[in-house]
């Protein structure tokens, strides 16, 4: 019995294989805290040292995009359409979903996501002042 294409499984395999060449698809999740992803940004990097050729974002008011099967299928389809050879994904949530300079002034903390104020987005730990 053939199950057909399984987007989540395809993404997991592509990510586990590591860098196998270009183009590379990148996936980063963002959220108001470290428990719920309300934004995912996916980009296509066509070559070493190149700027992203394409960038797409998905948003959610409720729920967690990491567990949304419809969004996972759209991400996988986007990456497949761009014939990515590799997929690099961040573990966990990579900071606030709001953009500095767009949603709030440059150099200031996001007024909507107090959890991330003073936290290192890579480790999630509070930094000493």
| 8 Å CB contact between 8 and 21 | no
Q: Calculate mean pLDDT across residues 91-110.
A: 92
pTM exceeding the 0.85 threshold for the entire prediction? yes
For residue 41 the two structure tokens come to 């940004």
Whether residue 71 is contained in a domain is answered as yes
Q: How many domains does the chain have?
A: 1
Q: Calculate mean pLDDT across residues 31-53.
A: 96
Which among 115, 80, 93 has a CA at the least distance from the CA of 126? 115
Whether residue 120 is contained in a domain is answered as no
CATH of the domain at 48: 3.30.420
Q: Calculate mean pLDDT across residues 113-125.
A: 87
Domain that holds residue 24: 17-97
**pLDDT at residue 129, as a whole number:** 59
User: Average pLDDT over the chain, rounded to whole?
Assistant: 92
DSSP assignments along 45-102, one per residue: E-STTPPPSEEEEEE-SSS-GGG-HHHHHHHHHHHHHTT-SEEEEEEEE-S-SS-BTT
Q: How far is CA 24 from CA 36, 53, 69, 75, 106, in A?
A: 25, 10, 22, 13, 29
Q: What is the pLDDT of residues 45-92, one digit of tens each?
A: 999 999 999 999 999 999 999 999 999 999 999 999 999 999 999 889
pLDDT of 99 over the 80 cut = yes
Phi first, then psi: what are they for 107, rounded to 5°? 90, -5
**pLDDT at residue 124, as a whole number:** 81
Whether residue 87 is contained in a domain is answered as yes
């Amino acid at each position: 019995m053939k199950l057909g294409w399984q987007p989540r499984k395809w993404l997991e395999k592509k990510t586990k294989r590591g860098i196998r060449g270009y183009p590379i698809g990148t996936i980063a999740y963002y959220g108001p805290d470290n428990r719920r992803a309300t934004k995912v940004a996916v980009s296509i990097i066509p070559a070493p040292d190149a700027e992203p050729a394409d960038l797409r974002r998905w948003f959610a008011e409720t729920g967690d995009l990491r567990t949304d099967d419809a969004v996972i299928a759209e991400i996988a389809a986007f990456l497949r359409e761009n014939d990515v050879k590799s997929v690099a994904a961040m573990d966990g949530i990579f900071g606030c979903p709001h953009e500095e300079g767009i949603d709030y002034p440059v150099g200031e903390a996001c007024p909507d996501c107090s959890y991330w104020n003073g936290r290192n987005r890579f480790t999630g730990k509070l930094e000493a002042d």
